[in-house]
Amino acid sequence: MSKTERSLLSRFLSSQFKTLPYPVQSFRGLVVIVTGANTGLGLEASRHFVRLGAAKVILAVRDVEKGKAAQDSISLSTETKNRTEVWSLDLASYESVKEFAQRAAGLDRLDVLVANGGLCTETFELAEGMEKSFLVNVVSTFLLVFLLLPQLRKTATEFQTRPHVVIVSSEGHETATFDEGKSESILAALNDQSTSNMGDRYDTTKLLQLYSMRALSERLDQSGKPPVTVNALTPGLCRTSLLRESSPMAQIIAGAIKFVVARSAEMGSRTLVHAAEAPSDSHGKYLRDCEITPPAIFVDSAEGKETQERFFVELIGRLEKISPGLAANI
């Protein structure tokens, strides 16, 4: 094991056993959207938002029946009613994302988007002509962010507040090999089964989320429009069902590791709630253990910054094809 690998492992273990601050910040009167809210981190974060007084928490889920079960769980544990809504959102479908955003445009306000929904799989599968986990974790996630920016800015203007977009990334970005980044077209390489390293794909999508968040934050700062805080976080390794689509062997190995060092979903969810109310200095930043922290060293390197810009330009180009005129929302 190299010195760098030992350092990463040491920091990871130290982080995993930290007790994170219990959320106390008021969300009274705010409207929050949480994707992937029917289970795990999304469910527990939604529970916190309701407990902290949010006027409405929208549970954005692929399976509405599971979303309703989550809704009942939140109502029971917080002893509240009529503070959550279950909305259908399938991040593997562009039309579903666009329909969701159109519905959200009818909200009186939108203060927080927690982009938590994600997919981890070692199987190469296409959806909308793209490798599915890349589609879900990156393309559709940022399609949703771009589509909701006008509503977030409207809220900023009308209520004199600063809305938040929270991207749930991962410290796995630090170990991504991301060989596709050396290709002339990064998107084409990611969608080519012959060149795709699916064992590295989840970590790669988390790196690309981080790149995209940083590039978007820079452009938002230059827009001259009402400010929206955009940040990203790692919740750490948590006991959730994220690996449900991984191979049986991967689940066995991960299960053993989780048994020893994983956080509970509730503990991990505290990082999501913190990012949703973090001050403006968190804009464009990466958060670990509810604190601003540097990302992997290569992210801030000259090569990393060049790759970030190259990828984001490609991503915007693809989003423009999905929803013409979308780039103007920045």
pLDDT of 223 reads 97
- Asked if residue 181 is part of any domain, the answer here is yes
- Asked if residue 2 is part of any domain, the answer here is no
pLDDT of 12 reads 73
Greater confidence (11 vs 204) lies with 204
pLDDT of 249 reads 54
Domains identified in the chain, total number: 1
pLDDT of 242 reads 61
pLDDT of 253 reads 55
> How confident is the model over 52-66, as pLDDT tens digits?
999 999 999 999 999
pLDDT of 245 reads 58
CATH at residue 134: 3.40.50.720
Q: CB 146: neighbour CB atoms within 10 A? A: 23
Residues 86-105 have a mean pLDDT of 98
Three-class SS state of 86: strand
Q: Which residue has the tokens 């689940």?
A: 251
Is 169 tagged catalytic? Answer: yes
Catalytic residue among 15, 93, 196, 206: 206
- Asked if residue 163 is part of any domain, the answer here is yes
| Number of alpha carbons in the 13 Å side-chain half-sphere of residue 73 | 19
**Residue numbers of the domain that contains 69:** 22-329
- Asked if residue 7 is part of any domain, the answer here is no
- Asked if residue 16 is part of any domain, the answer here is no
| Confidence check: pLDDT of 233 > 60 | yes
- Asked if residue 13 is part of any domain, the answer here is no
- Asked if residue 17 is part of any domain, the answer here is no
pLDDT of 180 reads 94
Burial class (CB in 10 A: 0-12, 13-18, 19+), 260: exposed
> How confident is the model over 66-82, as pLDDT tens digits?
999 999 999 999 999 99
Helix (DSSP H) and strand (DSSP E) numbers for the chain:
11, 10
- Asked if residue 10 is part of any domain, the answer here is no
> How confident is the model over 283-325, as pLDDT tens digits?
999 999 999 999 999 999 999 999 999 999 999 999 999 999 9
Catalytic residue among 56, 196, 202, 217: 202
Catalytic residue among 169, 170, 212, 217: 169
Residues 240-258 have a mean pLDDT of 60
Return mean pLDDT, the chain.
93
Helix (H) or strand (E) holding 61: strand 56-61
